Amino acid sequence: MRVKVSQTKDLNEIPGLVVQNLQNIVSDLKKLSDSNLNYFSINVLLEQLSEIRYKLSDIDIACEETQGFIAGYSQALQPDEESKDEEPPDEEEEKV
Sequence spans of domains, the chain: 39-73
Q: What are phi and psi of 31, to 5 degrees?
A: -60, -40
pLDDT confidence band for 88 (50 / 70 / 90): low
How high is the pLDDT of residue 91? 60
pLDDT at position 34: 95
CA distance 32 to 24: 12
Give the CA-trace dihedral at 3, 7, 12, 17, to 10 degrees.
-20
Q: What is the CA radius of gyration of the chain?
A: 24
Give me the phi and psi of 32, to 5 degrees please: -65, -40
> What letter does residue 87 receive in the DSSP assignment?
P
Q: What percent of the chain has pLDDT over 90?
A: 72
Give the pLDDT band of residue 3 (cuts 50, 70, 90): confident
Model pLDDT, residue 6: 81
Mean pLDDT of 1-7: 81
